[in-house]
Structure 1
């Protein structure tokens, strides 16, 4: 297990679609372990393989230590509720920046486990938000694309300013 370097916004890899995982082996388990370590170090509650520069459809989510780690291989949303909710989101690839995003309150997701077993389940609350956010990333949709143009431009400028200030320190 290792903490991997994070891809930072605006790296173009964050706008590329991840490829389907077709090998369920020790390397996939090792990648999931590295994603968990990297996410905890960031810190964050969700991470995808593209966040560390690997274009594979793999995400790790840990809402709290008590709720445990969830690994989703090749996740996809199969249905969404019409009811919408707002939640503050950010990204390990754009640290320090967050904004409210509106998303469906509940989703049904289909994914595979690290062993390749197919699963379909419903998610609500923070898990539904996090799954939608991470699946967007796997589809090449960075979270700021869910913001209005004005809010997106403001978030990008704020991040650029923070990045410049950090570089000078």
Structure 2
């Protein structure tokens, strides 16, 4: 297990669009494993590579449901539908939470750790978590999309960290 340090805002890497991944090797597999361990250690539901200082189009998401861990490499949003408004937080902004509007259903194409393309359809909280991480890969922070900041007590029982 190799837990990495989380990059905190402000940091240039968090606001810089990431590079496309072109090499799918053991180093990438280890990075994905380390990102998962880091996400779990810090009690997140997602983690993007820039959050550990790596400007590559890589993210992991695990909202602790039957879907399991999703590894997103070079993800592209293909379709979106509907709308939802809900709380979000970010490991790079500890203690900060806000309401963010996002599509309810999404279809995303990405690559797995071996470079094979796959498509995932997600809705509700899973869609929110995936889009939050994809935003990180474009240098977009959730704070730019917040419609209303939330107090900690408004979040009782709500999962909101990426």
TM range (shorter): 0.7 to 0.9
- 1:159 is aligned to none
Say which is worse superposed, 35-44 or 63-72, in terms of deviation: 63-72
- 1:126 is aligned to 125
Root-mean-square deviation over aligned CA pairs: 1.7
- 1:57 is aligned to 57
Moved over 6 A (4+): none
Which of 1 and 2 has greater Rg?
A: 1
1:17-65 deviation digits (Å, cap 9, x = unpaired):
0110001100000000110111111110000100000001111111117
- 1:80 is aligned to 80
Q: How does 1:3-152 map to 2 (within 5 A)?
A: 3-64=3-64, 67-81=67-81, 83-148=82-147, 151=148
What is the deviation of 1:13?
1.2
Q: TM (normalized to structure 1)?
A: 0.84
What is the deviation of 1:11?
1.1
Task: Identify the structure with bigger relative contact order (alpha carbons < 8 Å, sequence gap 6+).
Answer: 2
The answer to whether the 8 Å contact 2:84/2:124 transfers is no
What is the deviation of 1:121?
2.4
Unpaired stretches in structure 2, ≥5 consecutive residues: 152-162
More strand by share: 2
What is the deviation of 1:68?
2.0
Paired residues, number? 151
Unpaired stretches in structure 1, ≥5 consecutive residues: 156-169
More helix by share: 1
